[in-house]
Every structure is written in C-alpha cells, then in structure tokens.
Amino acid sequence: MTRIVILGAGPAGAAVALGLRRLGYTVTLISEWRRFAALEGVSQRVLEALRGAGLHHGLAQAILPSQRQVNWNGQQHAQNVEFLLDRPTFDRGLREDLRGAGVELIEGRVLSVHSAATEHRIDIDGREPLIADFLVEARGRQAPALGKGLRGPETVSLLNRWQATPGITASAVESLADGWAWMARRADGQCYWQWTVDVASADLPGKSQLLDYCRQRRQASLLAQSFFGGEPEVDLQLHARSSTAILNPQVCGENWIRIGDAAMAVDPLSGNGIFQSLSSALQAPTVINTLLRKPERRALAQRFHQQRVEQLFLRFARIGRDFYADEQRWQDLPFWQARRQWPDAEIAHAEADFQALRIERAPVLRDGFVDEAEVVITADQPLGIWHVQGVELAPLVRRLRSEPAGQVLAGLTVEQGRMVRSWLLGQGFKP
C-alpha cells in the first residue's frame, strides 16, 4: 500500500487529501494548528471553489457576509459583498471534513524531512519518525525553499487585532502613500487592520515599538478612524508575515509534489490567496495518481503540474500589477513604482482573436490520469482548453475554418450548442 503523507492542513492540503481518498489512497496529514486568530476576506468564487473541493464543514460556520468599502486612487465606492472567513473556525471544520473522509490526522511540528529516491523520512517533534512513499508539501510559505525562484518585490503585512464593542460586520481597503491597508470588523467586536508595506523602503521601527507605530498610522487614516470609530483597542496584538509573491523553481518530482503557497504564493491584494492555492491543489490528486500508477507518463504529469503552477502564478501576478497601476497618486514612490511594473509588461487580459487560435498537443486530465490530447491555445488559456460541455474543441475549430458553423455544430445537444457557441463568441468567432 502506498504511504502518502501531506504536510500542512490548510485548504490546499485538505483538498488534496480528500481528492486522494476519493481515488482510494490511504492518507496521513501532519500539521500544527493555527495559533493566531486570523480573519480573511474572500470572494464568492473562493467559496464555490472550497465547496467544490468538498470542504463543507469548513465553510458551515466560518463565513460572515460583509459590504466592502474601497478607497483607491482617491475614489471611494462600495464593492460587491466580501465574505469574512474566520480561520480558527474554518480550520476546525477542515479537520472534521478530513476525519469524515478517513484521513489520519497528526498534530505536531515537523522538525525535518529527509528525502531519497524511494522514500521520505519525516521527523516530528515528540513522535517517532514517519516514513512516506510519496510526499505532498502543503505547508504554505513556511515550506523550505528549493532554490532561487521568481520573487516579486519584498513585502510584509502587519496584522493588528483587538477587541472593541460589538457592532455591524464590515470591511474596507484603502491605498496609502507607502502601501495599502485592509480592515475588518466582526459583529462580536473583533477588529482587524492589516497594513502591507515594502520591506526595502518602509523604515519600520524595532519590534517593541511596532504596535505603537501601527497605531499611529491607523489614527492618521480618516477611513480607518471612521471605520473603527476611535474606540479603545483592548488586547491589541500584532502578527507580521511575509506577503512577497514567490514562485518555486520546481514543484513536482517523481515521488513528491508542492501545492498551494508552498508551490506559489501570490500578492494578497487581489484577495485570491485561497483561490490560487486550490487552483494548484485540485489538479494534484490526478497528477499524483499518474506518478504512482502510470510511471510511463511521469514526465507528462510533472510537466502538466509545473506549467499549470507557473501559468497561474503569472496570471495572478499580472492582475495584482494592474491593481497597483490603478493607483496614480503615488506612482513614483518606492512601494508603487516597484509593483506597477512587476512581473512583466504582458497584458493580463489579451483581446480575443479567433484567427489566432492554435491547435497543439498538450497534457490534459482524463479518467483520473494525466494524458495527452489536442487542445486549443487561446489568449486567455495559453496552456490550452480541451473541451467545453464534453465537446472536444480542437476538431470543431479545425472544421470551422472551412465549413459553415451550422453544419459543424449540427450534432450537438441544445445545452452543448449553447455552451460551445458562447465559448466561440468569447474567442472572437464571427459566424
């Protein structure tokens, strides 16, 4: 029996564990439980991705809907509803989901991992070492680096949390001359203010003075003063964490894989941290299944995961870059200047052009394994798209270049026809 061990019990590690159990594997998950009561703002798309991964208990009690206020580039407006995710409650729910699926959970601190060609030895504080045939690294930014990868401007986020009087659940974000701040208030009076700054230019004081420094910056913000109401800040705590965008140079081997923030960690500005973690994690069980059961496809499976992680990272990095470029007031100051130009000048959303579509053979997911098939390379899917509503697109695109659309699409069901036509129109096809 293959011994699979996952390090890390966040959304990415939990999603992979559940996916592997559905494929019939025995899974052991090792993690230290979160000790800081963090709160995260997520979108409806993140909630749908979490439900799609099977993390139902994690979501059951952890979500608070909130109207978000935005003050960016001197303009104020109310965005769509943001959902506040209470991480301690969410993490407890994740453990329920995992136990319900038959995943063995070990709470402990991983001291070291010794990897060889055939197995991994995991040393755990206070326990006997554990041996694994396959290792899933899902410890987020705390995972050891595998060399020099692609890094964005060095960034740190300073999260302040305190207790105030109960009130209305709300959240807000604002741009500042030397960074940006996200703030949230729960109905029970728990308040959060996270200030994200540039490491090189922030000129932060020592640790003992950091709380007072953050309080001064918060009190200098009209939005923060209005948002929190100037109440006393009881039990004020500080948690500093790196929020530098990082892409690891290698994310998959023959008997190991990195997922979530351990593979790529994105800038928190876009609010898609959990979404991107799941994006790399949901494909991982199929990649692992291929590595273990179809060794002749190992190179194809590794290529699939590596390319997907790199493409996701660059997509999120460019989205973040465009957010920063929207702030025009301080574009020449260090924080904004560094981030409005990274990672490159490639546009995040290229204009659709049906004539520019290409057909290539590429890795795809088929029947629980990584396989190879003809895909259509598009401006928004540079790694290719295989099918829509069960209809393979490469043969249709090839025929549409010489045959009438009505003839090419004649054999589709009503639903298939609707979805395929919508996709074609989105790619610039003109019947």
- Domain residue extents for the chain: 4-62+85-150+246-334, 155-242, 354-426
Low-confidence ranges of the chain (pLDDT < 70): 62, 79, 270-272
List the one residue out of 120, 118, 111, 58 whose CA is nearest residue 83.
58
β-pair type (120-124, 110-115): antiparallel
pTM surpassing 0.75?
A: yes
Q: Do domains 4-62+85-150+246-334 and 155-242 have the same CATH topology?
A: no
List the one residue out of 367, 252, 248 whose CA is nearest residue 313.
248
Q: How far is residue 343's CA from residue 310's CA, in Å, rounded to a whole number?
A: 12
Fold of the CATH domain 4-62+85-150+246-334: FAD/NAD(P)-binding domain (3.50.50)
Please report the pLDDT score of residue 150 as a whole number. Answer: 94
Q: How far is residue 111's CA from residue 134's CA, in Å, rounded to a whole number?
A: 18
CB atoms within 10 A of CB 104: 13
What is the H or E stretch that residue 171 is in? strand 170-176
User: Rounded to whole angstroms, what are the CA distances from 59 to 62, 83, 117, 156?
Assistant: 5, 11, 38, 28
Backbone angles phi, psi at 33, to 5 degrees: -75, 145
Provide DSSP, 177-219.
TTEEEEEEE-TTSEEEEEEEEETTT-----HHHHHHHHHHHHH
Q: How far is residue 219's CA from residue 179's CA, in Å, rounded to a whole number?
A: 16
Backbone angles phi, psi at 46, to 5 degrees: -65, -45
Fold of the CATH domain 155-242: Alpha-Beta Plaits (3.30.70)
Provide DSSP, 271-313.
S-HHHHHHHHHTTHHHHHHHHHH-GGGHHHHHHHHHHHHHHHH
Structure tokens at 328: 């025009």
